[in-house]
């Protein structure tokens, strides 16, 4: 399953870039170059999604669980 988010990059006063995804709290990072910030943000988003999935699995415990795709209009 693929995801698409809007990444935000801002030049930092001390040099480099800060990067984050507004729709995904915790997905933020930085890089010396825009390319480095992009790559670091991809990694940060993956880590946040994996951590959220692990927490959800832990909280679900035993019992019936229904999973279905949720599509949002673009």
Q: For position 62, what pLDDT does the model report?
A: 81
Kindly give, in sequence order, each residue whose CB lies less than 8 Å from that of residue 63, ignoring residues fewer than 6 positions away.
none
pLDDT tens, per residue, the chain with 74 residues: 577 899 999 999 999 999 999 999 999 999 999 999 999 999 999 999 999 999 998 888 888 989 898 888 86
CA distance 19 to 10: 6
Q: Dihedral, CA atoms, 40, 44, 46, 49, nearest 10 degrees?
A: -170
Q: How many CB atoms lie within 10 A of CB 24?
A: 17
Q: For position 1, what pLDDT does the model report?
A: 57
């Amino acid at each position: 399953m693929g995801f698409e988010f809007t990444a935000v990059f801002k030049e930092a006063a001390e040099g480099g870039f800060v990067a984050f995804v507004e729709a995904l709290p915790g997905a933020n990072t930085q890089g010396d170059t825009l390319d480095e910030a992009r790559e670091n943000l991809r990694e940060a988003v993956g880590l946040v999604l994996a951590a959220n999935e692990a927490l959800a699995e832990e909280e679900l415990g035993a019992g019936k669980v229904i999973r279905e795709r949720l599509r949002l209009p673009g």
